[in-house]
Amino acid sequence: MTKKDFENICDAISGISPFIRFVGVIGESGELLAYKRRADLVPLLNEKNTKFQFSHIAMKTDLEGFFDNNLGEIEFVWEERKKVQTISFAIKKSRVWVSIDKKVIRSEMLRIIDSCLPIMKKHS
């Protein structure tokens, strides 16, 4: 996939909901391939911690692959944290990571996930 493909994914997902804070495509080594951040956003992570987060995602993606034969490939992972909610999706060896405002109700989270799945399928 090209950088333009990754940028298109970020644009498509960020347009799904005004509650989406950040969309990034992370490569298999933890590098940020493309991203889109909401304009009014104050990031929760500084640059150093952002790099650690993306490296962590890359390592988890690699480890999760060991279970694919038995459990099937991961479609998405949803995390609820104290300050933010995140969803990540796999596209081949890359991961699309989406952060969403904490105050979002679950039905909106499910709508966001359901709206992301066809985008992921199109690019898988």
Name the residue ranges covered by the structural domains of the chain. 3-123
Indicate the SS3 state at residue 35.
strand
CA dihedral 44, 65, 122, 102 (to 10 degrees): -20
Work out the angle between the directed axes of helices 106-123 and 3-14 (0-180°, nearest 10): 160
Quote the pLDDT of residue 94: 86
pLDDT along the chain (124 residues), means of 10: 92 96 88 88 68 64 68 84 90 88 93 96 88
Alpha-carbon span 89 to 77, nearest angstrom: 7
CATH level 3 topology of 3-123: Beta-Lactamase (3.30.450)
Look up the pTM and report it.
0.84
